[in-house]
């Protein structure tokens, strides 16, 4: 299944509607970004309660995709800051920066929660309220420290996850949703870049030449999932399709080397490529697509490195080792 509507690259440029154009397609409103018609959802009321719910959801999402151990309670902000400032070891200081960011994040959500409770009791909360300013400052500092934090895969950080709560706090919810559609379009583009690289490189290796179908199926399912919220009625079909498509790619069995012979002569690359390296590289691509889908945010560093590894595998028959790099 694939409900994603994409404008093909062959379309004439003067025929493309501008970015942000909305249209009803098959009884569903969609918005155009990055040549994808992305499913839209109703915007919640722009209130303290609406922002509280959004920021709490973003907090759960953030800690779900970043390194373990960062979800420090806001009540321990002072301890986290003291430990970070006293640390002299560079590696441990990086980790403690992430822990401090987590504590700042939770302090901000604690404040917001209390403000909503006060508002529910009839207390007027102005934007220049001292607690509102402290909440914004906590989110801003957490965003700055977030550059030290890696994605749970250990491959790169996703600064976007740390910036989203501050944007949700500081701009209208309608504008926040629009920004998310932009990121979803970028995520869809990243998924297609990964899939195209896999097809382009593995498709030229005889033992892997039949792998295109499961790759395309996974990419189609991934693009559909990245635009679908968990509250959507279709989520059960969308998620199960993505998981099973990923399983089919992970279980792909390359053709035996003997099947790569053409009239008794070895075809180019038939025995030059390590099958085990190729299978592992396919699974890495599957994993990277899942990371992007779940975070709903592109991962440019990981995507670029993965494409380079696919090209190196085609050229050399082996997957080069790329050492992990920490954020600057």
Question: Given a cut of 70, is residue 185 above it in pLDDT?
Answer: yes
CA distance 67 to 64: 8
Q: What's the average model confidence in pLDDT over 107-118? A: 86
> Worst-scoring range by mean pLDDT, 11-25, 124-138, 230-244, 270-284?
11-25
pTM (2 decimals)? 0.81
Q: Are 131 and 48 in contact (CB under 8 A)?
A: no
Question: Given a cut of 50, is residue 303 above it in pLDDT?
Answer: yes
Number of CB atoms found within 10 A of residue 151's CB: 19
* Beta-strand relationship, 265-266 and 5-6: unpaired
Q: 261: burial class by Cβ within 10 Å (0-12, 13-18, 19+)?
A: middle
Question: Given a cut of 60, is residue 57 above it in pLDDT?
Answer: yes
CA distance 168 to 177: 9
Please give the backbone phi and psi of residue 33, each rounded to the nearest 5 degrees, phi first: -145, 135
The domain locations on the chain are 5-39, 48-171, 184-316
Task: Name which residue leads in pLDDT, 221 or 255.
Answer: 221
């Amino acid at each position: 299944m694939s409900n994603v509507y994409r404008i093909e690259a062959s379309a004439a440029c003067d025929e493309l509607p501008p970015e942000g154009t909305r249209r009803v397609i098959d009884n569903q409103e969609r918005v155009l970004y990055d040549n994808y018609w992305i499913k839209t959802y109703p915007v919640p009321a722009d209130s303290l309660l609406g922002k509280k719910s959004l920021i709490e959801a973003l907090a759960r999402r953030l800690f779900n995709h970043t390194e373990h151990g960062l979800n420090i309670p806001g009540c321990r902000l002072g301890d986290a800051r003291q430990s970070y400032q006293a640390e002299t070891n560079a590696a441990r200081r990086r980790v403690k920066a992430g822990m401090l960011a987590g504590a700042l994040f939770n302090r901000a959500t604690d404040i917001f929660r209390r403000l909503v409770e006060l508002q529910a009791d009839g207390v007027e909360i102005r934007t220049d309220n001292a607690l509102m300013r402290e909440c914004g400052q906590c989110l801003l500092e957490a965003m700055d420290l977030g550059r030290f934090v890696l994605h749970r895969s250990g491959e790169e950080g996703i600064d976007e996850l740390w910036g989203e709560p501050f944007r949700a706090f500081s701009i209208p919810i309608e504008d926040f949703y629009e920004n998310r559609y932009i990121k979803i379009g970028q995520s869809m583009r990243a998924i297609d870049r990964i899939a195209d690289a896999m097809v382009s490189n593995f498709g030229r290796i005889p033992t892997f030449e039949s792998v295109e179908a499961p790759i395309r199926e996974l990419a189609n399912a991934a693009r559909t999932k990245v635009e679908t919220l968990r509250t959507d009625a279709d989520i059960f079909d969308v998620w199960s399709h993505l998981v099973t498509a990923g399983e089919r790619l992970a279980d792909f069995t390359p053709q035996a080397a003997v099947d790569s012979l053409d009239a008794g002569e070895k075809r180019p690359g038939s025995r030059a490529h390590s099958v085990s390296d190729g299978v592992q590289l396919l699974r890495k691509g599957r994993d990277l697509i899942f990371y992007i889908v779940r975070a709903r945010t592109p991962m440019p560093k990981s995507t670029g490195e993965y494409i380079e590894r696919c090209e190196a595998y085609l050229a050399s028959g082996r997957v080069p080792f790329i050492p992990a790099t920490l954020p600057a």
